[in-house]
């Protein structure tokens, strides 16, 4: 697995460490280096000496072969037992997960994991004991290591999915997050270094690397390439240093991922939170707080924060107020208590993957006074569970009577937009146009306006198609979809040649249903190129059910019914529980006059989703049969 570099520009971490020994020593035991390791006795922390785990009628047994190989024997809910050899290891603490090879080349992350703190097995989703034919089962498409996870746990990774054989031939320079995963290929750097002793020539830009880590913007985007919730545009790892929005579509502050006020809800991996923060706005970079090679904080406790937030301040950030923050006069909690820790109030934590606490990197000031409007939690009552947000708001008013950090908050507008985007449209338009707000906040407001579907909003916000922030431009292009095609097309023509791929692809999608007989040559070329980028992006994720949903929708717009039906069929092959794709297949069959096929598809859909009311109603419409209102048999 740690084979010699397959790409000529990559050297592998061992070659880097030969010269950069201090950095290498710091990195070797880091969470980056141990993000993905071989299944050796030194790397495996779990008990593979006959230990067992049960969840309902699913049973897993962990043992060692006579040759010392780690084995997992899994009896699924259908009572079929399969034994797998552990392929490799994910992470090191507070939990460790194991990768199993279910087919040649196809790697899946097993849902039963080892708690390294308590020394026990536990299930990542104990409330969701899925059957093997469920798309969310550990063998399903959402847990495929090759395409869903590996790129952020490896260096120079390519998934190499073959849609014809539905198989993987994945490759990587090395497993684990190596030196070149962040700095980029090292051959140009090595060439310069080898010449330097005799030539004494000045170093090339960024010392020959593809990322200049001395530039905060580049460094942040490179960290964000993994530490963000996003949709990739390319297969595997893009060359480090590739602009973020040329390679990923960043998740906005959407319901289910973030609280209405932008606090973390689901696992969003930091970047979207950090973009909301005043620290990001003032130029703070990841390395101001984190040691890049150790992947640890640069200091213990409040010392991380007081390197800037103190009476001495920090000359790099002259706007800081020079006052005591690490003391009872600010914290209003006893020294040494949890309440006196900066992160307790300003970086509230949530637990993901069962036992892994992650801090919110929006560095927000507690706003319990917003709870009634946003429905979001606050740091105060997260600790003081016996108190109310009203109590917390009154307490903060007493402690900080002259605070500038009260009053209107964008979370109120986003909360209104989530509840009723039509009524909230004036507020959402105002937030979209507010240059003082973070781009991710403004883009989210535009996204909510898109849900309102009012063409006048698209006209009113046309200027945002030229906003400096690519997140805002991309959202503004998507908003134009609510406008009639003949009004939309002239507005977004220039977006087809935007310098950022995410904007160009959004423009191509928005032009899909624009029936334009002819256009100037440069626009026609731009449309063709942007459309090709979008197609290539979908082509790099053909093992995703979501991709085929998108392709099916595209085929419907283009009135290509066979292609649409085929795409939706692939969706339900990958994830039989995606009812919308079954519905579309049935409707296409009925619309094209093949009623027998429509009925057969509907029966297949109900066999996989027996309790779904949408499918039940469709069957009544097709056959006249009464609804089956009995609940499906329990799998427990």
pLDDT given for residue 611 in this prediction: 87
For residue 264, the 8-state DSSP code is B
Largest CA distance in the chain: 87
Does position 516 have pLDDT exceeding 90, yes or no? no
Structure tokens at 406: 């009260």
Does position 4 have pLDDT exceeding 70, yes or no? no
pLDDT given for residue 634 in this prediction: 52
Mean per-residue pLDDT of the chain = 94
Please, what's the b/e burial string for 580-603 (b: 16 or more CB within 10 A of its CB; e: otherwise)? Answer: ebbbbbbbbbbeeeeeebbbebbe
- Angle at the Cα of 166 (from 142 to 86), degrees rounded to 5? 60
CA dist., res. 408 & res. 445, Å (int): 15
Burial class (CB in 10 A: 0-12, 13-18, 19+), 195: exposed
Percent of the chain residues past pLDDT 70, beyond the cut:
97
Residues 228-284 have pLDDT tens digits of 999 999 999 999 999 999 999 999 999 999 999 999 999 999 999 999 999 999 999
pLDDT given for residue 123 in this prediction: 97
Residues 65-123 have pLDDT tens digits of 999 999 999 999 999 999 999 999 999 999 999 999 999 999 999 999 999 999 999 99
SS3 210: coil
Does position 5 have pLDDT exceeding 90, yes or no? no
pLDDT given for residue 632 in this prediction: 57
pLDDT given for residue 3 in this prediction: 37
Does position 631 have pLDDT exceeding 70, yes or no? no
- When pLDDT is averaged across residues 303-330 and rounded to a whole number, the result is 95
- When pLDDT is averaged across residues 127-136 and rounded to a whole number, the result is 93
pLDDT given for residue 623 in this prediction: 81
pLDDT given for residue 625 in this prediction: 73
pLDDT band at 375 (very low <50, low <70, confident <90, very high): very high
Residues 174-222 have pLDDT tens digits of 999 999 999 999 999 999 999 998 999 999 999 999 999 999 999 999 9
What's the CA dihedral at 331, 335, 336, 339 to 10 degrees? -20
pLDDT given for residue 519 in this prediction: 83
Does position 414 have pLDDT exceeding 80, yes or no? yes
pLDDT given for residue 621 in this prediction: 86
Whole-prediction pTM value? Answer: 0.94
CA dist., res. 540 & res. 235, Å (int): 5
- When pLDDT is averaged across residues 373-392 and rounded to a whole number, the result is 97
- When pLDDT is averaged across residues 126-150 and rounded to a whole number, the result is 95
Does position 1 have pLDDT exceeding 50, yes or no? no
Does position 630 have pLDDT exceeding 70, yes or no? no
Task: For helices 613-623 and 595-608, give the axis angle rounded to 10 degrees.
Answer: 150
**CA distances for 572 relative to 138, 383, 564, 578, 580, angstroms:** 17, 44, 13, 6, 9
pLDDT band at 633 (very low <50, low <70, confident <90, very high): low
For the chain, state the CA radius of gyration: 27
Q: Where are the alpha helices (DSSP H) in 184-232?
A: 187-199, 216-224
pLDDT given for residue 628 in this prediction: 62
- Angle at the Cα of 234 (from 230 to 238), degrees rounded to 5? 90
- When pLDDT is averaged across residues 316-321 and rounded to a whole number, the result is 93
Q: Where are the alpha helices (DSSP H) in 575-633?
A: 579-591, 595-608, 613-623
Strand runs labelled E in 293-373: 296-297, 349-352, 356-359
Only one residue has tokens 């935007």, namely 498
- Select from 7, 176, 6 the least CA-distant residue to 92: 176
pLDDT band at 627 (very low <50, low <70, confident <90, very high): low
């Amino acid at each position: 697995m740690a084979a010699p570099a397959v790409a000529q520009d990559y050297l592998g971490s061992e070659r880097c460490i030969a010269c950069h020994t201090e950095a290498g020593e710091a990195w070797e035991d880091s969470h980056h280096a141990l993000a993905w390791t071989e299944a050796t006795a030194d790397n495996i922390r779990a008990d593979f000496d006959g230990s067992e785990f049960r969840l309902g009628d699913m049973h897993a047994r962990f043992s060692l072969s006579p040759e010392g190989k780690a084995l997992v024997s899994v009896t699924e809910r259908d009572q079929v037992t399969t034994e797998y050899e552990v392929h490799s290891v994910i992470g090191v603490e507070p939990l460790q997960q194991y990768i199993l090879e279910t087919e040649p080349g196809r790697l899946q992350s097993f849902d039963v994991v080892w708690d390294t703190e308590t020394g026990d097995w536990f299930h990542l989703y104990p409330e969701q004991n899925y059957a093997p034919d469920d798309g969310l089962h550990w063998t399903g498409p959402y847990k495929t290591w090759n395409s869903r996870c590996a790129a952020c746990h490896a260096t120079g990774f390519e998934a190499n999915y073959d849609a014809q054989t539905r198989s993987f031939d994945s490759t990587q320079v090395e497993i684990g997050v190596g030196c070149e995963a962040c700095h980029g290929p090292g051959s140009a750097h090595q060439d310069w270094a080898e010449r330097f002793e005799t030539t004494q020539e000045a170093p090339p830009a960024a010392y020959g690397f593809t990322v200049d880590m001395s530039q905060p913007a580049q460094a942040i985007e490179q960290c964000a390439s993994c530490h963000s919730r996003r949709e990739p545009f390319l297969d595997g790892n893009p060359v480090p240093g590739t602009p973020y929005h040329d390679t990923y579509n960043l998740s906005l502050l959407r319901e289910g991922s973030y609280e209405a006020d932008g606090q973390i809800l689901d696992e969003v991996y930091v970047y979207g939170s950090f973009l909301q923060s005043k620290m990001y706005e003032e130029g703070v970079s990841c390395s101001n707080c984190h040691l890049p090679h150790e992947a640890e904080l640069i200091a213990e406790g409040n010392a991380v924060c007081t390197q800037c937030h103190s009476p001495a301040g920090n000359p790099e950030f002259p706007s800081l107020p020079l006052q005591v923050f690490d003391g009872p006069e600010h914290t209003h909690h006893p020294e040494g208590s949890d309440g006196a820790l900066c992160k307790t109030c300003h970086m509230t934590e949530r637990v993901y993957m069962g036992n892994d606490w992650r801090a919110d990197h929006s560095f927000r000031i507690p706003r319990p006074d917003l709870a009634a409007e946003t429905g979001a939690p606050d740091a105060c009552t997260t600790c003081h569970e016996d108190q109310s947000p009203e109590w917390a708001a009154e307490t903060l008013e007493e402690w900080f009577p002259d605070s500038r950090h009260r009053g209107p908050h964008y979370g109120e507008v986003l909360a209104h937009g989530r509840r009723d985007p039509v009524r909230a449209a004036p507020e959402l338009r105002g937030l979209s146009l507010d240059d003082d707000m973070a781009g991710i906040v403004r883009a989210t407001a535009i996204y909510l306006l898109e849900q309102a579907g009012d063409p006048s909003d698209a006209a009113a916000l046309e200027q945002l198609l030229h906003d400096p922030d690519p997140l805002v431009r991309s959202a503004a292009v998507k908003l134009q979809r609510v406008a009639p095609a003949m009004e939309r097309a002239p507005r977004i023509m220039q977006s087809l040649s935007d310098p950022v791929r995410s904007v160009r692809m959004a423009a191509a999608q928005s032009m899909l249903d624009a029936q334009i007989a002819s256009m100037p040559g440069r626009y026609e070329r731009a449309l063709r190129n942007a459309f090709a980028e979008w197609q290539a992006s979908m082509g790099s994720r053909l093992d995703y059910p979501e991709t085929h949903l998108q392709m099916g929708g595209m085929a419907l717009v283009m009135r290509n019914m066979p292609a649409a039906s085929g795409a939706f069929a692939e969706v339900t092959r990958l994830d039989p529980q995606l009812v919308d794709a079954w519905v579309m297949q049935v409707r296409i069959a009925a619309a094209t006059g093949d009623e027998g096929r429509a009925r057969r598809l509907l029966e297949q859909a109900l066999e996989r989703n027996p309790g779904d009311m949408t499918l039940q109603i469709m069957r009544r419409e097709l056959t006249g049969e009464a609804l089956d209102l009995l609940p499906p048999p329990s799998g427990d």
